[in-house]
A and B are shown apart, each in its own frame.
Chain A
Amino acid sequence: MALLLVMLGVALLANLSLGSVYIPLKATLEILAGGEAARESWGYIIWNYRLPKALTALLVGSGLSLSGLLMQTLFRNPLAGPFVLGVSSGASLGAALLIMGASLLAGGSSAWLVNDVSLALASGFGSLVVLLTVLLVSARLKDAMALLIVGLMFGSITAALVTVLSYFAPAEQLQQYIFWSYGSLGNLGWGQLGLLGVFCLVGTAIGLGLVKALNALLLGEKYAQSLGISLSRTRAWIILGTGLLAGGITAFAGPIAFIGLAVPHLTRQLLRSQDHRVLLPGVLLYGGILMLFCDLVAQLPFSAYVLPINAITSLVGAPVVIWLLVRRRRMIF
């Protein structure tokens, strides 16, 4: 755990110092400490661009990993991730409706409608609608597996609606939507970052409050109930926590794939534990580190290019997971 903390610090500093403009580590530290920057532009880059982006990466990585852990424990399914309940498909539908729907209804004059804030609102609203529907349905379902299928079905429905919208949308709007779906960490100002921080903080607090119930769920739902855990209440809190984390993150940074699915597995392998008192801080740290690293790769140090973060998370993460599984031969779940 201490190792993870140190690695997080290193990843954060590397992320701040490397990019299209290289800022020496010493200068980076001086700027962060409030000192005078050796070059004025460096201070500007750090404070207004790289630090918000690094903090976004940290929140996104930690939050998605935690919601992935919650989903995997709730469904006892190693393939579950933060988006299995349809949170990201809801967000996509919201974004698609705003970007492509507005242009279909209002014609070409609607471009002013689409900006970072309205996009965040639309996708956040989309996740919320799907989430509330899932919550309502879950109250009527006894079986967690059935809930998983329902979440997947919602995903299919929204994906189909997005397809229909894209079919009719003009090329320009379609491209804008596709760019949104790549995910982005660099669009948040300090105000939005604060809001995202609140979402993540509340989501993490809910996760922390669930630690005991999550550990009891390792035995199975019936045993958990026999230990005094209320299944319906626990399920509702898990859905709410996941919704806040994954929904909030998707609203601000777009649908970021893979991290939420992979980090809980990586953390179990690393810490060799199933205890959520260990796993919860573990996934928060590990998720943050991995996301900072992915962002570092995505901004292609010493070049002016920035790659879509969504592609990098999978490109970097998937081989790591495969390598770990092959080396250890056995998955801890």
Chain B
Amino acid sequence: MNQEPHPNELPLQVLDLQIGYRDKRREVRLSGALRFGLPRGSLNAVVGVNGVGKSTLLRTLSGMHPPLSGELLIEGTPLEKLPLERRAQLLSIVLTEPLASQHLRVRELVGLGRYPYTNWLGQLSPEDLKGVEEALRKMELEAIAGQPCHTLSDGQLQRALIARALAQDTPLMLLDEPTTHLDLYHKVKILKLLKEIAHSTRKTILFSTHEIGLAIQLCDQILVLQPATARFGTPCELIEAGCFEALFPADTIRFDAESGYFRVTK
């Protein structure tokens, strides 16, 4: 492990967090207890097989789903102590589900990201408008800012959704599988944009993905979720520790540590 960063430099800190579901009869624990902190200005990925709890983790971190136990600190404050209005200024999300209204124009969509800062009518101040234009520019959306969302391609829509979260101007940004439905070129493009944002605006970004190979190449840190354990570290540390070998059954796919890619077992 590299040197421990100061807690002030960790916008998101998770202490022995146990995620899962609880109903009347039983408790379903997903993964092991989690303990990690995400440094300011870093791009981080959550990887793991289907059903291991990536989405549940993101929903827990964004406060939409309660944890079974453990602590979750956003900028040093426990999440449950933050009122909704304050949360909205610290944490923004990008979801996989479609927008409720497909007829919003891209600029309107991005403008809704400014809501935590507006008055009771939701009117955008000149400063808000500047933030909107800035987000549009960063996500390369200026040319299509006037189009309704239903006319966008999957890649454009994903960039518009990220621009909305960007306009919300939060230190922490959580994205659920931002690269699904995209071809390789657009996957890489989205992830490079995210990396650029994380480093240039000092935002902390966490996204879930199935693109482990791309995550290894582009992310600062990766969280590997497995049914009983979880490992967090830089891609190199995780490769050296052999974390990716055990991710999938070896008779189907094996991890090639040399190239940092998975290969089909022949």
Given contacts A212-B121, A229-B84, contact A220 B62 (CB under 8 A): no
* Contact in complex: B101, A219 (CB < 8 Å): yes
The interface on chain B, measured as residues whose beta carbon lies within 8 A of the other chain's beta carbons, has a size of 32
Shortest CB-to-CB span from A269 to chain B, Å, is: 11
Q: Is the CB of B112 within 8 A of A227?
A: yes
Contact A212 B120 (CB under 8 A): yes
**Minimum Cβ distance to chain A for residue B264 (Å):** 36
Per the bound structure, the CA–CA distance linking A222 and B95 in Å amounts to 9
C-alpha gap A226/B164 in the complex (Å): 12
CA distance A163 to B88 in the complex (A): 50
Contacts of B97 in A (CB 8 A): 220, 222
Contact A216 B115 (CB under 8 A): yes
Which residues of A have CB within 8 Å of B164?
219
The answer to whether A226 touches B92, judged by C-beta atoms less than 8 angstroms apart, is yes
Does A218 sit at the interface, judged by CB under 8 A?
Answer: yes
A211:B104 contact, CB within 8 angstroms:
no
Q: Give the complex CA separation of A220 and B168 in angstroms.
A: 16
- Total number of A residues with any Cβ neighbor in B under 8 Å: 24
Among A211, A217, A222, A223, the most chain B Cβ lie within 10 Å of the Cβ of A223
Residues of B close to A275: CB separation below 8 A: 108
Q: Are B62 and A226 in contact (CB under 8 A)?
A: yes
Complex interface bits, B91-125 against A, C-beta within 8 A gives 1, otherwise 0? 11101011111011000110011011010111100
Instruction: Please give the distance in Å from B239's CB to the nearest CB on chain A.
Output: 34
- Residues of chain A lying within 8 A (CB to CB) of residue B112: 215-216, 218-219, 223, 227
Q: Which residue of B lies closest to A229 (CB)?
A: B84
B250 to chain A, nearest CB (A): 38
Do A274 and B101 touch across chains, with their CB atoms under 8 A apart? yes
Residue B240 at the chain A interface, CB threshold 8 Å: no
Please pick, from A215, A219, A222, the residue contacting B122 in the complex, using a CB distance under 8 A: A215
B1 within 8 A of A: no
Give residues in B with beta carbon < 8 Å to A: 62, 64, 84-89, 91-93, 95, 97-101, 103-104, 108-109, 112-113, 115-116, 118, 120-123, 164, 168
A residues at B contact (CB < 8 Å): 76, 209, 211-212, 215-223, 225-230, 274-275, 277, 332-333
Question: What are 13 A-B interface contacts by the 8 Å CB criterion?
Answer: A212-B118, A215-B112, A215-B122, A216-B112, A219-B164, A220-B100, A226-B87, A227-B113, A228-B86, A228-B88, A228-B116, A274-B108, A333-B103
